[in-house]
Amino acid sequence: MVAHIGVANPFCIELSKALSKSVRETGATVHDGGDFITIEGPRFSTKSESNTFRQWGMSIIGMTTSPEAFLAREAEMCYAVMGHVTDYDVWHISEIPVSVEIVIRTLIQNTVIAQDALRNLSQDLPANQVLECGCSDALADAIITQTNSVPDETKKHLGLLINKYI
């Protein structure tokens, strides 16, 4: 079975707004929007990569969100990212070069913010609340395979995702 999911905007707008609000409530600095580039890791960027990503207009370089954002969209789940910056990467000449020690120290501080933000979010978004974002219908126009040609075994395995469309 073949489906091509639209991921022009890989993060749920509504969940992102709610998450942003919950982080602001912790008192942390929040930057909404921006462009995230995913690199294969675990590793730090080379100086050349870091400068190239900046020239491309990337706001954050990270090792997560892909394939997570795409899999969430295929599963018709809302997905958002709370990206905690740990360092300037290697492009910032007035900052000391990134190291594991710096990343871990900042990561520990960011963990407290993340826990508080998720607590806030869980109070703002009750379990039964349905967002009006359209994420729950992402497969509606994405399935390419004619549904009558999908084998029964495939229908059974993918039933949770495709039953409402076949």
Residue with tokens 């609000």: 21
Count the helix, strand and coil residues of the chain and give each as a percent rounded to the nearest 5. Answer: 45, 5, 50
CA-to-CA distance for 77 and 16, rounded, in angstroms?
Answer: 13
CA-to-CA distance for 64 and 69, rounded, in angstroms?
Answer: 9
Catalytic residue chosen out of the listed positions 32, 35, 87, 137: 87
Annotated active-site residue 137? The verdict is no
CA-to-CA distance for 125 and 131, rounded, in angstroms?
Answer: 9
Annotated active-site residue 124? The verdict is no
CA-to-CA distance for 40 and 62, rounded, in angstroms?
Answer: 8
> Smallest Cα–Cα separation from 76: which of 130, 149, 121?
130
Label residues 35-57 b or e (16+ Cβ within 10 Å = b). Answer: ebbebeeeebbeeebbeebeeee
**Catalytic positions, written as ranges:** 87, 89
